[in-house]
Amino acid sequence: MGVCRLDDGRFAICDLVPGGSAERSGLHPGDVLLRIGDETVANQAGLVLPVFALAAGEQIRLTIERRGQRLDLLLTLVTATLPSVESRLLEGDVGYVRIRWFARSQDPPSNTAALARSALATKHRGNR
């Protein structure tokens, strides 16, 4: 999931990995993170440390604010294979290419440079 800092200093979900732990647990873009486990979210380290300590299958309680309402959700960590390169075409033919990591490989599905070139050259709708 992608987290953005709001003007008031709080942190909100700004992007979700399709099929990832956050999306499967019911988080939505725009949800404001208030608590992770028993800790108030006060800084960026507070966002990631409790989650990085978990193994696949473990859960942690999140308290969020969604459209002015406070909600509790259980985030269940899932094992996911994330692509090194993801691209999306948004409305108005505006899009982005996200490169999560770089890897050199003779295997085309694992070669980041080839995947990035392909993503930049391809115009499409949906996830890649």
pTM of the model: 0.63
Domain extents in the chain: 2-76, 85-121
In one letter, which amino acid is 124?
Answer: H
Cα–Cα–Cα angle for 114, 118, 124, rounded to 5 degrees: 155
Distance CA 128, CA 124 (A): 9
pLDDT at 124: 54
| Dihedral, 73, 77, 80, 85 alpha carbons, nearest 10 | 60
Cα separation, 116 vs 99, whole angstroms: 7
Q: Please answer whether residues 101 and 63 qualify as being in contact, where contact means their C-beta atoms are separated by less than 8 angstroms.
A: no
Q: Which CATH fold topology does 2-76 show?
A: Pdz3 Domain (2.30.42)
Mean pLDDT by 10 residues, the chain (128 residues): 86 84 90 88 67 76 94 85 73 76 72 78 56
